[in-house]
Amino acid sequence: MIMENSTQYQEGLLERFLNYVSFDTQAKFNAKPIPSSIGQAKLAKFLQQELFALGLQQIELSKQGILTAFLPSNISPQMPTIGFISHLDTSPQCSSKHTLPEVIENYRGGDISLGVGEEFISPVYHPFLQKLINKTLVVSDGKTLLGADNKAGIAEILTALYILQQNHLSHCNIRLAFVPDKETGQGMKHFPFDKFTCDWAYCLAGEGVGSLGYENVNVATATVTLYGRNIQAGVGKDKMRNALTLACEFQKGLPAQEVPEKTERKQGFFHLESLAGDIEKVEMRYLICDFDRVSFEQRKAFLAMMIVDFNRKKRLRKKAQLSIEDQYSNMAEIIKQQPRSLQLADLAMKQCGIEPILTPIRSGYLGAKLAEKQIPCPMLFTGGYNFHSKQELTTLEGMWDAARVIVKMVQLANKLCG
């Protein structure tokens, strides 16, 4: 039945996705309210109405914009409960305002010109494009990101629910959560864990088809504050202390090869995420990331010693300051202790004709936060690529594959655990 109506379902999936990306849900750093942007609240309310229309139960939208819902098993309440989680926001570092998506049917290969051509996506820099020939691509006009991270995941979950309900397919208990401000690390601080009880969950936020992740980086944020002394530039000799110059010097002290653009898979890194300030004061915001816990602690200690050494060498009137805050930890051990989540995803993918690709997660906020509460939460693919950039894209076929895997998992759960 699903395959007979696959064209109809794919059209509905694409329509959902294009609708969702029209919401400006860019997260904002240092915003006091949560969600940090009005668009996230609007999208949450829109999804709430969709869930009502699909007949879900226990639909609740918190004042922080966290949307949760429940679909009971149509076989038995004793069936396992599986959760699915995605985030509402897009990257705070790339605009999502007035996103204008373009659908490219039957991609023939070669460069993809975005909008008027100031931005383009080339297989020279993105070899994965060779695998997407003859597929239906969705890209932006090059002025904003597309929003596949994470609106593709949301569209896939809603499409899977629609298929289940329309075809009266047997399924286990299903819990849903759509969370704001994942990208700033604020959304899960208000997550209603008591309303998201499940045996395990899946985060729909991975990239290429087949990607399945259960190991993520340990992450901490570090803020380095540097102070200078301003004076009129014409008489600045031996008097001015430029905090911007100090920031450049401090950055040079970090290992040049241990940055996101020089590392991959399980290699740890330091990431200078933002630098703001002037001659008098500069704040540098870093992400400290490593899969290995010992190496992670060593990276934090290294940064702390850098501050001590910097203060000693520069003899600053007002010393440089450092604050470090752990954000989340590697969820691998929790999933290894409760492997059914991986087993089910692996089986469902294979039955859908998709070869699982175990992929280290170089982020993983949502799943890691659930793992802290002993809820295993591997990351599933969405079919998207180049997240957080104007070159972001997704494929309709990849999104459809993800929706099919969701449907298959909630059906197989009855057999795997029933």
**What is the pLDDT, as a whole number, of residue 30?**
85
Specify the pLDDT at position 2. Answer: 63
- pLDDT given at position 3: 61
Question: Which one, of 371, 362, 331, lies nearest residue 200 by Cα?
Answer: 371
Distance CA 13, CA 23 (A): 16
Categorise residue 67: left if φ over 0, alpha if ψ from -120 to 50, beta otherwise. beta
Q: Distance between CA 369 and CA 185 in Å, rounded?
A: 10
Q: Which tens digit of pLDDT belongs to each residue from 324-356? A: 999 999 999 999 999 999 999 999 999 999 999
Distances (CA, A) of 360 to 5, 90, 153, 181, 357: 35, 21, 19, 22, 10
Q: pTM here?
A: 0.94
Q: How many CB atoms lie within 10 A of CB 109?
A: 11
- Among residues of the chain, what percentage have pLDDT more than 90? 94
Angle (nearest 5°) at CA 402 between 397 and 403: 95
* CA dist., res. 141 & res. 98, Å (int): 10
DSSP 306: H
Position 1 scores a pLDDT of: 53
Along the 418 residues of the chain, how does pLDDT read in single tens digits? 566 689 999 999 999 999 999 999 999 988 989 999 999 999 999 999 999 999 999 999 999 999 999 999 999 999 999 999 999 999 999 999 999 999 999 999 999 999 987 899 999 999 999 999 999 999 999 999 999 999 999 999 999 999 999 999 999 999 999 999 999 999 999 999 999 999 999 999 999 999 999 999 999 999 999 999 999 999 999 899 999 999 999 999 999 999 999 999 999 999 999 999 999 999 999 999 999 999 999 999 999 999 999 999 999 889 999 999 999 999 999 999 999 999 999 999 999 999 999 999 999 999 999 999 999 999 999 999 999 999 999 999 999 999 999 999 999 997 765 4
